[in-house]
Amino acid sequence: MHPITRSGARLRLRELTITDVEALVALYGSPAATEHLSLEPRNREQVEQVVAWSVAQATVTPRTEYALAVIQSETAELIGSGRLALDPHQQRGATMGFALRPDVWGRGYGVETVRLLLSVGFNDLRLHRIWGARSPLNQASAKTMSAAGMVEEGTIREHVLKAGEWRDSIVHAILDREFFRSP
Ligand SMILES: CC(C)(COP(=O)(O)OP(=O)(O)OC[C@H]1O[C@@H](n2cnc3c(N)ncnc32)[C@H](O)[C@@H]1OP(=O)(O)O)[C@@H](O)C(=O)NCCC(=O)NCCS
């Protein structure tokens, strides 16, 4: 499915474009934003490569990668990114990722972003199950996914290799019926 757009009270999701590189460097180049992610801070060239790949993946059929820009409606500014990646080994399942620029944290945008991503996944893509994996230390992510109705399911041991060390992940997930009955 392409293009994807979805609006909430203060944010909207849209497809990434190559002109988003600069705004995304402010996000993925930030040590604070990437502290608990599986990746190290990225430079401009690395961000450019990821965006180019994401833009190309958006029009592949069947589409499995949904990398979306998070736009603050009032300012039309890109403040974050979200991703749904369909799982090739699971029917109607996807993993979710999201990150916002540190200067906008703490205003409820994280929960709105996750809700919008879930809405894309369940309403547009007709998924059955969406899950996200976070670092055990990432309390902001834990609270954000819980506030959006995602249930903590357990631990994947030594899931992520970061800075030469294996790190566990905590899984949060939500099913379609849980999403549609949530207030
Ligand atoms: C996770 C992230 C998106 C949250 O964004 P946000 O806009 O600050 O989140 P919200 O304002 O919607 O807050 C959501 C909840 O998290 C809590 N929270 C936010 N930051 C927190 C922190 N540093 N420590 C503990 N709780 C925190 C809020 O209090 C709120 O909880 P509540 O509903 O119980 O009040 C943001 O911190 C981020 O981009 N982090 C870096 C990338 C990342 O970790 N992504 C998740 C990968 S799994």
Tokens of 47: 């961000």
Task: Say if residue 182's pLDDT is above 80.
Answer: no
With cut-offs at 50, 70 and 90, classify the pLDDT of residue 175: very high
Q: Among 27, 114, 143, 156, which residue has the most ligand 1 atoms within 8 Å of its CB, making it the best to mutate?
A: 143
Spatial contact of 134 and 141, defined as CB atoms under 8 Å apart: yes
pTM: 0.96
Structural domains present in the chain: 5-181 (3.40.630.30)
> CA–CA separation, 132 vs 96, rounded Å?
5
> CA–CA separation, 155 vs 178, rounded Å?
21
Q: Among 68, 144, 150, 153, which residue has the most ligand 1 atoms within 8 Å of its CB, making it the best to mutate?
A: 144
Q: What is the pLDDT of residues 87-146, one digit of tens each?
A: 989 999 999 999 999 999 999 999 999 999 999 999 999 999 999 999 999 999 999 999
Task: Say if residue 183's pLDDT is above 90.
Answer: no
Rounded distance from Cα 28 to ligand 1 centre (Å): 16
Distance of CA 4 to the CA centre of its chain: 14
Residues with CB under 6 A from ligand 1: 33, 36-37, 97-100, 105-111, 132, 134, 138-141, 143-144, 147
Residue with CA at minimum distance from ligand 1 atom 2: 110
Rounded distance from Cα 104 to ligand 1 centre (Å): 10
Report cis status (omega within 30 of 0) of the bond before 41. Answer: no
